[in-house]
Every structure is written in structure tokens, then in C-alpha cells.
């Protein structure tokens, strides 16, 4: 079937420091041109599902413009799963029309100057133009169950293992080296990145402690968030609402703390009590390098994920083998994208928020 000339897509026209107002300003365009032409190293994907990540709405404030510039009007979103409908000449050595693929189109990879031909992001649309190097094929039939793997999974993969590309933090320090016997603490373990991090760390036979709450799961009031993270393999779960994890784990000499929360005191006051000398505080939520540099006895590693197919392929294979599970919080339609972004902004989701396109 021929690819249509137009598509539906959500677009943002301007930044707004007030995130809910920015989300509300999104417009669903119904007759935008399908991205193209397809470059030699690109594929055009008919999107079946997209997934929401906090970076999707954080961009709306303009705070990332210096390192990840966007051009308006901007189509948000980075996680996609769907079917290839056109293949560039060079990409044809790895992909063909009809292949089912998974991709994180990449914050740093797609938000840049000059922008790629497909433009930045592009997940909240019916079609996206994606570099073939950021795609992997998958045999998973229900793409809703894997679309949330890409960005969150790669983020946790690189935080824990440094990834298959040379990955250093914002401060230039190499990221994690989690292996058998490592002791890892995951802060904010019930979310999309944290829940995948538990499973990835356990796959390397690490000891995993994590923080969660006793609040009920969104879709199962008989299971708490603490129960959920235990079910993923966590060895020790601390209720952050009732217990101070730095007191519970004081003097335990952890190798790495993976911070998915961003509370400043976690770095400055609490982590030094738990990490061994030279241990790493790897954060995707705290970027205060000046503050981090003042904390003695640990390496502060704020970082941003590097999108690549090698890390994603490792995790996709794990999912296909039943060794990795992507929890889904809520599935919305494309028309409900504003509600999905607002839910992510409120920060109480367990697992991934998915968009059915």
C-alpha cells in the first residue's frame, strides 16, 4: 500500500516555563506532510506505538535548548515502534520494507543544529524518519509491550554498564561498571527507568537495593509499589516515605547509586554515608555539577543518554527471551497525548506511559 502524503502529528509552537501550559498549547495537526525524502542512511517508519518520557515535556521549558536545540514547530517524543515503509539505499543492507522496528530517535541525536531531515523527536505522529543506526528489528508481536524500552532502557543500561558506546557523564567521568557482586542502590525504582534498572542490574548478578513507596499500584490496588519492585528482583526495598535510606544503608559501601529522582540532599547529605570511597552517584535527574563537585569521597556522574542500536539490541533480545519486562502504566490514543504528557509531568506513574498511534 502506498504511503500517504499527509499525516497527523502533535506540534509545539513555542517554549513555556510552565509545563502544564506548554502541554496545553500543543496542537494536533491533521494534514502535515509525511517526512521525507528518505536519506540513504534513514528509514521511514509508520508508527504503531510511541512512549512518553519526562524529557518529552522537560524540553518544552527551553531549558535544554543550549545542548539539544529544537526548531519550531516541534513534534515531541523519541520512543517509537512500528513498521518500515521506505528504506534508504545504505540502510537497505540491514532493513527492508515491512520490518518491525524499535527506536529511540535520540534527544542529542535529533535535537541539533542543523536538524536531521526528519526533524527533532517526532514520536507523537503517524510517521517518523529515523536514522537506521538507531533502529533494531524485533519479533515482539504486541509492540505496546516493548515500545517503552528504548529511551528508558538505554538510559538505565548506560548508567549501570556505560553502554556499548564510549559513554561518559556530563563531568567527563565514565559511567557505571555493574557486575557480579556489585552493590547498587536505585532511587525511584518504580518508574520506567528504575524498574528496568532493577532487572538489568540483577541480570549481571548485582545486589540491588532500591527505594519505593507503599502506595498501591495504579492498576492493581492489591499490590504496592514496594511489592512491584520486589517482584522485579530487588534484594532490599526501602520505603522512602517512612525510612531514611542513608541511615538504613549507612556504612554498607555501595559501589553505585543510580538516581532517578533528583532531590539535591540525596547527593550532598545522604549518598556519602552509603557509597564506598570513590563510589559513583550516577544521576539522570540532578545536573548541579557545581554542587556535586563539592561532595568529597564520591564521583558525581550526571549524564544524558546516547542513543545507539547496540545497547537497544541487547535489551530487545532480553525482552524476546523473556528476561526483561517493560511495565505499562497507561495506554492512551494519539488524540490523548496531552493527557499522557500531563500524567508523566505529575510523576506518579509506575512503568511506562504508552501512546497507541
Whether residue 320 sits in one domain with residue 275: no
257 and 280 inside one domain? yes
Query: Do 331 and 288 share a domain, yes or no?
Result: no
Residue 162 in any domain: the answer is no
Q: Is residue 74 part of a domain?
A: yes
Q: Mark which of 260, 283, 302 sits at the end of a domain.
A: 302
Q: Decide: 154 and 104 in contact? Cβ < 8 Å.
A: yes
Does position 118 have pLDDT exceeding 70, yes or no? Answer: no
- Report the CATH number that the domain containing residue 179 is assigned in CATH: 3.40.50.720
pLDDT at 223 over 70: yes
Domain extent for 97: 6-151+306-356
Instruction: Decide if 134 is inside a domain.
Output: yes
Task: With respect to residue 49, please indicate whether it lies within any of the assigned structural domains.
Answer: yes
One domain, residues 199 and 320: no
Name the residue with cell 505522529: 125
DSSP letter string over 80-146? Answer: EEEEEEEE-TTGGGT--TT-EEEEE--HHHHSSSSPPTT-S---SBSEEEEEGGGEEE---S-GGGT
What is the structure's pLDDT at 221?
76
- Side-chain-side CA neighbours of residue 314 (13 Å): 14
Is 291 within 8 Å of 266 (Cβ atoms)? no
CB atoms within 10 A of CB 244: 12
How do residues 168-190 score in pLDDT, each as one tens digit? 888 899 999 999 999 999 999 99
- State whether 61 and 180 are in the same domain: no
Q: Residue with C-alpha cell 515531541?
A: 76
Domain count, the chain: 2
Q: Are residues 124 and 214 in the same domain?
A: no
Can you give the CATH number for the domain in which 96 is found?
3.90.180.10
pTM across the whole model: 0.95
Domain assignment present for residue 158? The answer is: no
Alpha-carbon distances of 191 from 15, 110, 285, rounded to whole Å: 26, 25, 13
pLDDT tens digits for range 52-66 = 999 999 999 999 999
Do residue 229 and residue 250 come from a single domain?
yes
* 272 & 284 share domain: yes
**Closest C-alpha among 291, 311, 211, 214 to residue 254:** 211
3 state SS of 320: helix
166 pLDDT above the threshold of 90: no
Amino acid at each position: 500500500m502506498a504511503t500517504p502524503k499527509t499525516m497527523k502529528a502533535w506540534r509545539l509552537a513555542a517554549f513555556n516555563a510552565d509545563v502544564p501550559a506548554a502541554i496545553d498549547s500543543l496542537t494536533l495537526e491533521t494534514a502535515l506532510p509525511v517526512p521525507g525524502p528518505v536519506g540513504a542512511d534513514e528509514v521511514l517508519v509508520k508508527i504503531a506505538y510511541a512512549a512518553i518520557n519526562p524529557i518529552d515535556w522537560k524540553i518544552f521549558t527551553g531549558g535544554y535548548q543550549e545542548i539539544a536545540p529544537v526548531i519550531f514547530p516541534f513534534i515531541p517524543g523519541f520512543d517509537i515502534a512500528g513498521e518500515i515503509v521506505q528504506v534508504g539505499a545504505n540502510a537497505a543492507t540491514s532493513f527492508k520494507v515491512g520490518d518491525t522496528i524499535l527506536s529511540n530517535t535520540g534527544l542529542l541525536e535529533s535535537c541539533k543544529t542543523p536538524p536531521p531531515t526528519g526533524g527533532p523527536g517526532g514520536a507523537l505522529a503517524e510517521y517518523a524518519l529515523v536514522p537506521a543506526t538507531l533502529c533494531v528489528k524485533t519479533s515482539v508481536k504486541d509492540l505496546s509491550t516493548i515500545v517503552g524500552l528504548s529511551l528508558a532502557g538505554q538510559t538505565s543500561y548506560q548508567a549501570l554498564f556505560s553502554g556499548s558506546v564510549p559513554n561518559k557523564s556530563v563531568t567527563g567521568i565514565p559511567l557505571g561498571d555493574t557486575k557480579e557482586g556489585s552493590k547498587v542502590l536505585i532511587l525511584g525504582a518504580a518508574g520506567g527507568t528504575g524498574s528496568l534498572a532493577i532487572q538489568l542490574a540483577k541480570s549481571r548478578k548485582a545486589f540491588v537495593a532500591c527505594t519505593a513507596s507503599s502506595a498501591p499500584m495504579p492498576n492493581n490496588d492489591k499490590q504496592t509499589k514496594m511489592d512491584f519492585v520486589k517482584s522485579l528482583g530487588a534484594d532490599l526495598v526501602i520505603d522512602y516515605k517512612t525510612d531514611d535510606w542513608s541511615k538504613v544503608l549507612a556504612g554498607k559501601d555501595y559501589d553505585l547509586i543510580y538516581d532517578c529522582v533528583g532531590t539535591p540532599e540525596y547527593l550532598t547529605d545522604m549518598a556519602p554515608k552509603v557509597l564506598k570511597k570513590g563510589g559513583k552517584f550516577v544521576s539522570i535527574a540532578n545536573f548541579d555539577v557545581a554542587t556535586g563537585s563539592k561532595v568529597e569521597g564520591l564521583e558525581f556522574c550526571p549524564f544524558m543518554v546516547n542513543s545507539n542500536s547496540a545497547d537497544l539490541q541487547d535489551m530487545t533480545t532480553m525482552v524476546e527471551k523473556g528476561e526483561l519486562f517493560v511495565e505499562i502504566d497507561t495506554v492512551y490514543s494519539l488524540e490523548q497525548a496531552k493527557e499522557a504528557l500531563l500524567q508523566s509531568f505529575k510523576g506518579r506513574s509506575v512503568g511506562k506511559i504508552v501512546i497507541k498511534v
